[in-house]
């Protein structure tokens, strides 16, 4: 029998939800049915776990982790059933059947997780294909095309808003880029290949560079002469190759999002002269989540 794996994951999600709701609603009856002593609090707790996993399975398009969470839950259930076997008030025959049923579901869960897990490899493939594909973004900026052009034309301004760019030194049409990458920096030389004042700039890495890259920016006058729309295209060639790209994506570092945040910072710098921040402001004592996130990128 051929399972289409997302459909199997979804079916298991609905199964989790149904089981969880049953555990919540009629914990005593369910305990009796599987022949174990009544412990409604534990049964309801397990029910909440099932519902959580069920929602996870149904909400995610590729819920590999949630399938493994189901497997872990199954193992926990088997352990509990095993422990129950040693209790006085257990109907051992019923409990044995229940254990066999759980073992069967465990096998199905593990099968589904492994099937879906295999397509993670396809994800790596996708990231490999994506490498070097340019990303584009447009943003309305309340400054004239001329002001934006002048700011951008001095490439040493770019590190002020491009998060991963450590420094750019420029000399005429040539520029030397130093960009942060996992485990160090990468460097290359770029040259401007098209330069139309107040309108557009196009650049690319010089021949023979370690990194092959290019980008362009275009400043389109805004409606009624107000500000402009900045169109940017950058080819991010993620260091670390396809695997690097894949892991970057896992941690939310996808190029589309990066260019959005970089451009937001460009707008903030050119419109207000600074990038608003809360880094370094006082806070009260943080909880566990806060202490963890304080080291992250998004919250302060």
Which spans of this chain sit near another protein (rule: CB under 8 A)?
140, 142, 226-227, 257, 260-261, 264, 267-268, 271-287, 289-290, 293, 298-300
- What one-character-per-residue DSSP string does 125-184 give? HHHHHHTT--EEEEEEESS-HHHHHHHHHSGGGGGGT-TTEEEEEEETTEEEEEEEETTE
Nearer to another protein, 88 or 278 (CB): 278
Nearer to another protein, 88 or 281 (CB): 281
CB of 300 to another protein, least distance (A): 6
Nearer to another protein, 154 or 291 (CB): 291
What is the strand order of the sheet 184-196 is part of?
135-141, 228-234, 214-221, 200-205, 184-196, 174-181, 165-171
CB of 278 to another protein, least distance (A): 5
Residues 43, 19 contacting (CB under 8 angstroms): no
CB of 220 to another protein, least distance (A): 15
Residues 227, 141 contacting (CB under 8 angstroms): yes
CB of 274 to another protein, least distance (A): 5
- What one-character-per-residue DSSP string does 254-284 give? -HHHHHHHHHHHHHHHHHHSS----TT----
Which residue, chain included where needed, has tokens 């997302």? 6
Nearer to another protein, 65 or 229 (CB): 229
Nearer to another protein, 56 or 73 (CB): 56
Locate 183 and state its tokens.
Answer: 């485990």
Residues 67, 57 contacting (CB under 8 angstroms): yes
Nearer to another protein, 210 or 220 (CB): 220
CB of 217 to another protein, least distance (A): 19
Residues 250, 243 contacting (CB under 8 angstroms): no
CB of 272 to another protein, least distance (A): 4
Q: How far apart are CA 172 and CA 195, in angstroms?
A: 12
């Amino acid at each position: 029998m051929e399972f289409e794996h997302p459909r199997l994951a979804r079916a298991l999600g609905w199964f989790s939800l149904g089981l969880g709701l049953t555990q919540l609603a009629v914990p005593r009856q369910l305990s009796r049915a599987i022949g174990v002593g009544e412990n409604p609090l534990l049964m309801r707790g397990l029910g909440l776990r099932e519902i959580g996993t069920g929602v996870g399975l149904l909400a995610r398009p590729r819920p590999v982790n949630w399938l493994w969470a189901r497997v872990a839950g199954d193992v926990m259930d088997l352990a509990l059933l095993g422990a129950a076997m040693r209790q006085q008030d257990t109907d051992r025959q019923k409990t044995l059947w229940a254990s066999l049923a759980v073992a069967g579901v465990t096998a199905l869960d593990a099968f589904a997780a492994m099937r879906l897990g295999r397509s993670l490899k396809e994800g790596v493939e996708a990231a490999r294909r994506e490498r070097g594909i340019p990303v584009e973004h447009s943003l309305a900026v309340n400054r004239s095309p001329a002001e934006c052009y002048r700011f951008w034309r001095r490439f040493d301004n770019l590190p002020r808003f491009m998060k991963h760019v450590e420094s750019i030194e420029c000399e005429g049409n040539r520029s030397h880029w130093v960009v942060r990458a996992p485990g160090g920096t990468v460097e290359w030389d770029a040259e401007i290949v098209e330069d139309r004042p107040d309108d557009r700039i196009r650049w690319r890495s010089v021949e023979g560079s370690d990194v092959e890259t290019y980008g362009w920016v275009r400043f389109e006058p805004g409606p009624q002469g107000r500000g402009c729309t900045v169109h940017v295209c950058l080819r991010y060639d993620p260091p670390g190759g396809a695997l690097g790209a894949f892991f970057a994506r896992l941690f939310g570092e996808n190029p589309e999002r990066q260019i959005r945040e970089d451009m937001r910072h460009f707008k903030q710098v050119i419109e207000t002269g600074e990038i608003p921040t809360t880094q370094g402001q006082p806070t009260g004592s943080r909880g566990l989540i806060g202490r963890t996130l304080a080291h992250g990128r998004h919250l302060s």
